[in-house]
A and B are shown apart, each in its own frame.
Chain A
Amino acid sequence: MKISGTLSGRGLDRLGDEELMALVDDKHPAAFERFYDRHSGAAFSLAHRIVGQRSAAEDVIQEAFLSIWRSQGRYDPARGSVRSWTLGIVRNRAIDALRRGSSPTRHLDQDDDATLEGRPAEELTDDEAVRREMAQRVRGAIEELPREQSQVIALAYFGGFSQSEIAEMLSAPLGTIKGRMRLGLEKMRSSLAEGLGIDEAMEALP
């Protein structure tokens, strides 16, 4: 006779993201809890970058995670990794919140002590350490782009602006904006392929 196992359903922790999502789709709270713990840090960071305020970002991830829990729109592996899919939902919710919000201009507040950048490594969880490292590498890749390209990408993705809004904002022809967006993204994609190691790092994310 042998007793093995844990108190905390460690079996769930061993499941991959996609396996876990199948359980979340089937409405299992313990699986959802793991799912939240794996992705809430990245989700909150993205929401905060978009809406610019801690409390608004918390509302966004609460909406986004509950919509995943309750929705019929299930995870589809064809749309990328579970993390990318989740962050896509968070991004859209955050943009909606930004458009609903009263303050039209984003302000990036540095008012909280929740940033991981300034903390000693030993205070971070493994996931947080990986995320911090990733952030630095991806930022490096973005900084290599010509400024006018990284700017339109950021306005589109983090600002939720359409191409014509960006053209108006920057007083540039629409065709120019379209070109910068394409060139910038293609260049980023190519540097990923050229071994920045970001693909690998993305896969290594817990």
Chain B
Amino acid sequence: MSVSEHVAGEPQREALAAYALGSLEEREAEELALHLESCEACRNYLQWLRPAVDTLPASVEQLRPSPAVRQAILAEVNADARASASPTPARPRNARVGWRGLLLRPATGFAATALALAGIAGYLINGSGGGTAHSTVAAVATGPLAPAAASAHLDRVDGSGTLVVDRLPRLPRNRVYEVWVQRGGTVSPESTFVLRRDGTANAAVPGPLDGANAVLVTQEPHGGSDTPTGPVLLRAQLG
């Protein structure tokens, strides 16, 4: 796309260039933001222009911030996290919407195969610094169709984790894998995922995992379910 393909007139383009550079007066910027909501030509031009502005920060002399800044910021972040972790707030119901599609990648249509899980290993390694607890919970699948082929482990850092899977069966286009956290008698949805082209996937397990019994994976209709509708395919036992 070139400039000439944009319908926006020259005065508009001048205003939009200044807007993109953060150089309009506050009132002008507000008016233009309002105008943008209803003007597609202006939106298109702004979107076309934006990468030029986005490269500007990359042109400056590149420096390295002091490690003390990192320490100060992370200390506040960890203090915030500790403060909000006790008591553990109920996970808002609508929060799971944000996880929808998080790791969705195009799924190709292979028949879904059942995968049963047998060997489960739990392995806890204490992190070395900063009071952060890292652990890895590993599992090996021995399903009838893919014996020992699928592997998965949960990388756990403090209260949350990432489920790293490899060689799970591919799913039909209208199905996804869904991750759950089991706590006592309840199971709550965490995220959905499909496999990358190479058969691997990373799925977010935001948790909190403290006090949870296990992380589970099932196969669900596209978009995920509120409660599991299929058999448990993977289980990472936590406690």
Residue of B53, B65, B103, B127 most packed against chain A (CB within 10 A) = B65
Task: Give chain B nearest CB distance to A132 CB in angstroms.
Answer: 5
A22-B204, A40-B65 known; A156-B151 Cβ under 8 A: no
- How would residues 117 to 153 of chain A score, 1 for a CB under 8 Å from any chain B CB and 0 otherwise? 1000000000010011011001101100000000001
A58 and B63 within 8 A (CB): no
A131 and B58 within 8 A (CB): yes
State whether the Cβ of A80 lies closer than 8 Å to any Cβ in chain B.
yes
B73 and A66 within 8 A (CB): yes
Segment of B30-38, B78-86, B170-178, B219-227 in the binding face: B78-86
Which residues of A, 9-48, contact B by the 8 Å Cβ criterion? 9-12, 14-15, 19, 22-23, 25-33, 36-37, 40-46, 48
A156 and B65 within 8 A (CB): no
Residues of B within 8 A of A115 (CB): 61-63
Selected from B24, B53, B207, the residue in CB contact (under 8 A) with A162 is: B24
Which residues of A, 174-188, contact B by the 8 Å Cβ criterion? 178-179, 181-182, 185-186, 188
A58 and B121 within 8 A (CB): no
A29-B158, A84-B54, A179-B14 known; A135-B99 Cβ under 8 A: no
Segment of B44-52, B107-115, B181-189 in the binding face: B44-52
Selected from A32, A112, A178, A189, the residue in CB contact (under 8 A) with B14 is: A178
Selected from B55, B102, B125, B163, the residue in CB contact (under 8 A) with A192 is: B55
Residues of B within 8 A of A23 (CB): 160, 204, 206
- How would residues 113 to 124 of chain B score, 1 for a CB under 8 Å from any chain A CB and 0 otherwise? 000000101010
Q: Interface on chain A toward B: helix, strand, loop, or mixed SS?
A: helix
Task: Give chain B nearest CB distance to A96 CB in angstroms.
Answer: 11
A26 and B98 within 8 A (CB): yes
A30-B160, A92-B22, A178-B18 known; A14-B202 Cβ under 8 A: yes
Selected from A1, A4, A80, A116, the residue in CB contact (under 8 A) with B54 is: A80
Binding site for B on A (CB under 8 A): 1-12, 14-15, 19, 22-23, 25-33, 36-37, 40-46, 48-49, 54, 57-58, 61-62, 65-66, 69-70, 80-81, 84, 87, 90-92, 95, 112, 114-117, 128, 131-132, 134-135, 138-139, 141-142, 153, 156-158, 160-164, 166, 178-179, 181-182, 185-186, 188-190, 192-193, 198-199, 202
Binding site for A on B (CB under 8 A): 2-3, 10, 13-15, 17-18, 20-25, 48-66, 69-70, 72-74, 76-78, 80-81, 84, 95, 98-99, 102-103, 119, 121, 123, 125, 127-128, 132, 134, 136, 138, 140, 151, 153-164, 202, 204, 206-207
Selected A-B contacts with CB under 8 Å, 18 pairs: A1-B121, A5-B138, A27-B84, A30-B157, A31-B160, A40-B69, A45-B57, A45-B63, A61-B69, A65-B73, A84-B50, A87-B57, A116-B61, A128-B62, A157-B53, A162-B23, A185-B52, A189-B48
